[in-house]
Structure 1
Amino acid sequence: MKNLSERILNIAPSLTVAVDTLAKKLKAEGKDIVSLGAGEPDWDTPIDVRNAGKASIDQGKTRYSAPQGILEVREAVCEKFRSQNGLEYAPEQIIMTSGAKHAVFNSLLAIINPGDEVIIPEPYWVTYPELVKLLGGVPVIVHTKVDNDFQMSGEDLSKVISPKTKAVILNNPTNPTGTLYSEEVLASIAKVIAENDLYAISDEIYEHFSYSDSFQFKSLASFDGMYERTLVINGLSKSHCMTGWRIGYVAAPKEIAKLIAKAQGQTTHHPSNIAQYAAEEALKMPLDTVYKMRDEFRKRRDFLYGKFSAIPSVSLRVPGGAFYLFADISALFGKKTPAGKTISDSIEFCTYLLETVGLAIVPGSAFGREGYVRFSYAASMDTLAAAAERFEKGILALQ
């Protein structure tokens, strides 16, 4: 048999997906598993959004639409940017995609050539460096400090720019750390990007999940010199509990948007019409439901933080946004399990928890930061309580 694709063989599988898939498999087999692996709100898609999707079927809106998406839906995205972010986009600058992950891929596809360097601060969402590698680019990872709340500064960014640098990927609020980039830090990053004539991919999928009363979200595209060089990623998966609907979007400069539409016309063509019409309803809804869910997640965050901060050998900070706790468990390395195996990294620790206490979480190495683990608190209080109990039980059993 001839060789298979090296570009696929050379990228890592998504550990977040792998953990969630394994947890579901074990549950299906009858195992008692508590999973905080997936970043998926446990709330249902709002009823009006579901009804809009159903209505599109009943009305026969099931034919091909334009590769960049249905005009009315893109107009709703433009209004969202106008009213919520103070950004003016035309419908031809909006591309509807099959989820925000697809939007990230399409954005990189439009700007990256083989050998181009893309700067990514870590801890990062698992998919960013792998997509860069898939397209022949070179991920350049910037180490961030806990003392600076895992924020990459403009100075940090400037130190790693080379003649091959093409773009920067920034996620704000951030997965897995829950970091909220301050306006001051964002301004410093924007200044360096503009001065060096780089592109920016700004993943803003957690935009509405901030738990700080003093924080005001500001899109990277709104800073001086950034509108014409920023591709803004967003979607409805998190804010409107539409993970399974697979609907996202990218807002980009017109020439780049044309390239994305061109590529999409030869690949997926367009995301599901049903999901698009549901998204249109979601985009037009008041944000009351989103904020209600956010306030509930704040309670869940505080509950889980309170439980974990009382456990010896675990260090963590209160995340300002998104819905993840990123805990330092490096003090446990070198300890032995009841079976006599030495824990030496985050993967071994997470494997131990899954096998012994039935708790599924994601190792920090998936996000480029060894010595940590990530918990999603987008789960019910009962699930969080069970997870906290199992986490502590597993740790206390180590010797």
Structure 2
Amino acid sequence: MRPLNETITACPPSGIRRFFDIAAEMDDVVSLGVGEPDFVTPWRIREAGIYALEHGHTTYTGNAGLPELRRLICDDLARRYDARYTPDRECLITTGVSEGLDLALRVLLNPGEEVIVPEPCYVAYQPCVSFAGGIPVGVPTRAEDGFAIDVDAVEAAVTDRTKAILIGSPANPTGAVQPPAVLRALVALAERHDLYLVSDEIYDRLTYTGTHHCLGAVPGARERTVVLGGFSKAQAMTGWRVGWLAAPGPIADLALRVHQYTMLCAPHVSQVAAVEALRAAEGDVAEMVADYDRRRRVFVKGLRELGLECPEPAGAFYAFPSIRSSGLDSETFAERLLKAESVAVVPGGVFGPSGEGHIRCSYATALPQLEVALERMGRFLSSL
């Protein structure tokens, strides 16, 4: 048989899923691994979805998505962050943020062009660059700096093939929120070298210390920036698969062109539910964010009391403690912890070389479960 696609063949399976395939076959596992809220989608949003089904909203929508949803998203961006986009030309509803990332990279990249990706980073970033024909170039960040992006290191990685910089803030896996000064410096760098910026802001509402700053609102950024967001995390709508892309017209037009051939549109029912989420679910979001914040403080304090150094996560719902004091690499630590104490975490090395020596722990699970996990982790550390 002739060989299959070389780029996809060379891409390893997700480093996250391997551990959860093992965990699925075990009893009494406390999972701190999958980045999914343990909350059920708020009732008012589910009710809107039920209403949509009952009234036959089971057809395609326009390729770009429901006009009302696009208008509400653009209004929300303008109100919260002073990021201003035109609903009918600069906003596209996607099937989750994952599709938005894929569209942005396909539109921006020609074969062989490079994308700088500060890491540790979400496991999909570098494969998606490769799938779009690009070359991912990792630039490390450090726990000692709170995983803030080193703009000088990013600039040192720029070559004549560099096309874009891809960031996530708040970040998966570290929980880091990039300071305004870093965002401004990245925009200045992009202007100097004529680069695009792709900003994954799916965790924008899950910011606990300080304020989220939308990259598209930074002076000088708008015409070269693609902002990605959605409803999976803050509104607990992972399974509804609805996100959005906001970008200047020429970029959004091409993203729509790919989208209309490959996905056609995001699910109609999900878009109706997302409208309700923006119209009426702010109180539900605030309650969930406050609960995450309580869990964050309890869990990080508990990790530190176990002797694990842990930078304070300012956003998202992940802690990223160092496990170097254990003498184990991150994969061995995660595997042994799972087998010995039935606690599932993700080895930091799957998020890039600078994630090695850490583990990712999601605190998007109930506080009693987090307390059980801390007890078991303490027992495991004592056994080493």
Deviation at 1:286, TM superposition (A): 5.2
Distance 2:80 2:17 in 1: 31
Distance 2:280 2:115 in 1: 36
**2:287 alignment partner in structure 1:** 292
User: Runs ≥4 in structure 1, deviation > 6 angstroms?
Assistant: none
1:2 has 2:2 as partner: yes
1:396 has 2:374 as partner: no
Q: What's the secondary structure of 1:131's corresponding residue?
A: helix
1:171 has 2:168 as partner: yes
1:203-352 correspondence to structure 2 within 5 Å: 203-212=200-209, 215-285=210-280, 287-312=282-307, 314-333=308-327, 343=328, 345-352=329-336
Q: Residues 108-147 of structure 1, C-alpha deviation per residue, up to 9 Å, x if partnerless? A: 1111111111011111111101111122211111111222
Deviation at 1:12, TM superposition (A): 2.4
Q: Does structure 2 conserve the Cα–Cα contact (< 8 Å) formed by 1:116 and 1:137?
A: yes
Deviation at 1:287, TM superposition (A): 2.5
Partner amino acid, structure 2, of 1:2: R
Structure 2 unaligned residues grouped into runs of 5+: none
Answer with 318-327 or 288-297: which moved more. Answer: 288-297
Tell me the C-alpha RMSD between the 2 structures.
Answer: 1.4
Q: 1:71 to 1:22 in 2, by over 3 A?
A: farther
Q: Residues 178-233 of structure 1, C-alpha deviation per residue, up to 9 Å, x if partnerless? A: 11211112111111112211111101111111221xx1221111112110111000
Q: What's the secondary structure of 1:327's corresponding residue?
A: coil
Answer with 81-90 or 32-41: which moved more. Answer: 81-90
Partner amino acid, structure 2, of 1:350: A
Distance 1:59 1:287 in 2: 25
Distance 1:286 1:135 in 2: 36
Q: Residues 234-273 of structure 1, C-alpha deviation per residue, up to 9 Å, x if partnerless? A: 0000010001111111101111111111111111111111
Distance 2:187 2:62 in 1: 33
**2:189 alignment partner in structure 1:** 192
Percent identical pairs in the alignment equals 35
Q: Does structure 2 conserve the Cα–Cα contact (< 8 Å) formed by 1:297 and 1:323?
A: yes
1:95 has 2:92 as partner: yes
Distance 1:233 1:17 in 2: 24
Q: Residues 335-381 of structure 1, C-alpha deviation per residue, up to 9 Å, x if partnerless? A: xxxxxxxx4x2111111111121111000011111111000001101
Q: Does structure 2 conserve the Cα–Cα contact (< 8 Å) formed by 1:85 and 1:219?
A: yes
Distance 1:38 1:19 in 2: 10
TM-score (structure 2 length as normaliser): 0.96
Q: Does structure 2 conserve the Cα–Cα contact (< 8 Å) formed by 1:353 and 1:394?
A: yes
Distance 2:364 2:5 in 1: 36
Deviation at 1:298, TM superposition (A): 1.4
Deviation at 1:383, TM superposition (A): 0.9
Distance 1:285 1:248 in 2: 18
Q: Does structure 1 conserve the Cα–Cα contact (< 8 Å) formed by 2:45 and 2:281?
A: no
Answer with 12-21 or 222-231: which moved more. Answer: 12-21
Q: What's the secondary structure of 2:40's corresponding residue?
A: coil
Distance 2:93 2:113 in 1: 26
Distance 2:43 2:29 in 1: 29
1:387 has 2:361 as partner: no
Partner amino acid, structure 1, of 2:14: S
Of 130, 133, 137, which residue of structure 2 is paired with 1:136?
133
Distance 1:330 1:205 in 2: 30
Distance 1:108 1:12 in 2: 20
Q: 1:76 to 1:18 in 2, by over 3 A?
A: farther
Of 31, 35, 41, which residue of structure 1 is paired with 2:31?
35
Partner amino acid, structure 1, of 2:280: M
**1:337 alignment partner in structure 2:** none
Q: 1:110 to 1:22 in 2, by over 3 A?
A: farther
Deviation at 1:289, TM superposition (A): 2.0
Of 41, 47, 62, which residue of structure 2 is paired with 1:45?
41
Q: 1:286 to 1:55 in 2, by over 3 A?
A: closer
1:58-207 correspondence to structure 2 within 5 Å: 58-91=54-87, 92-207=89-204
Distance 1:394 1:83 in 2: 47
Structure 1 unaligned residues grouped into runs of 5+: 334-342
Partner amino acid, structure 2, of 1:233: L
Distance 2:98 2:203 in 1: 13
Deviation at 1:150, TM superposition (A): 0.7
Distance 1:9 1:59 in 2: 44
Partner amino acid, structure 1, of 2:36: E
Q: What's the secondary structure of 1:140's corresponding residue?
A: strand
Q: Does structure 1 conserve the Cα–Cα contact (< 8 Å) formed by 2:42 and 2:281?
A: no
Q: Does structure 1 conserve the Cα–Cα contact (< 8 Å) formed by 2:173 and 2:320?
A: yes
Answer with 68-77 or 160-169: which moved more. Answer: 68-77
Aligned length: 381
